[in-house]
Amino acid sequence: MKIIGVIPARMASTRFPGKPLAKILGIPMVGHVYFRTRMSSLIDELYVATCDEEIKEYVNSIGGKAIMTSATHERASERTSEAMRKIEDQTGEKVGIVVMVQGDEPMVLPDMIDEAVQPIINDSDIQVTNLMSPLKSRSEHEDPNEIKVVVDRNDFALYFSREAIPTPKKHPQNIPMMKQVCIIPFRRRFLDKFNALEPTPLEIAESIDMLRILEHGYRVKMVRIDKGTYSVDTKEDLIRVEKLMENDDLMTKYAL
């Protein structure tokens, strides 16, 4: 089963324009995501899907592969799906699993990719997975840039929200508060099916792709990790992540 990674990235971010090429310790953020994702033991090929020439030129300069996609996509999953079809056309090979790694996850670790993919390899009924990790503070729980998730007893998602769920006011302290980590493997056919589904009210209200899956009656398997990771949604996030990555040993393995 061929497994590819796709990093969707665009310059026109609403909250942080130019974010993919914003530098962290001298390296553009999308470069960190690319180098670290490429270290996964399960991914056969890795691509950056973009509509911006600047990003394409940078990816080419580090020996990576860039796929140009439409500038009209509103969802990362749509950009990933278009890239997947173009990759299949270029290579003449069908893909089995597509791992979407958001371009604002510069702290991603290779084994996080592998842990996210493994349930799909192990269980033919699982069509899509997400990583989740514990929220570490009340402010992180209340941050609308962090997507929170609650799960059932088998770690299938019940709901995603940018609001503080479960409620911090009433729930017992032993109920975990979890956030989505945007490393999302899809079975190839299910990614196409997902993009053919009508957008749904909760998906639009929360601006969270995975709610479309739940609202149409499908399931999202969540995979818990305990590793600390932070996405970059704002310039303040960039500063925080840069400090956290100052002594990151993985950076010494980048093939610059």
Interaxial angle between packed helices 53-61 and 29-38, expressed in degrees from 0 to 180 and rounded to the nearest 10: 50
Tokens of 168: 């911090």
Per the structure, the count of domains in the chain is 1
CATH of the domain at 130: 3.90.550.10
Tokens of 112: 């996080």
Q: Tell me what percent of the residues of the chain surpass a pLDDT of 70.
A: 98
Q: Pairing mode, if any, of strands 66-68 and 45-50?
A: parallel
What pairs with residue 191 in β-bridges?
none
User: How many whole angstroms separate alpha carbon 177 and alpha carbon 186?
Assistant: 25
Residue appearing with tokens 């980048």: 254
What pairs with residue 93 in β-bridges?
none
User: How many whole angstroms separate alpha carbon 183 and alpha carbon 240?
Assistant: 20
Query: Is the pLDDT at 172 greater than 70, yes or no?
Result: no
pLDDT attached to residue 168 = 74
Tokens of 205: 């209200």
Q: Please provide residue 128's backbone torsions phi and psi, each rounded to the nearest 5 degrees.
A: -155, 140
Q: What is the per-residue pLDDT across 198-242, written as a single tens digit (0 to 9) for each?
A: 999 999 999 999 999 999 999 999 999 988 788 898 899 999 999
Q: What is the per-residue pLDDT across 135-163, written as a single tens digit (0 to 9) for each?
A: 888 888 888 889 999 999 999 999 999 99
- Domain of 137 in residue numbering reads as 3-253
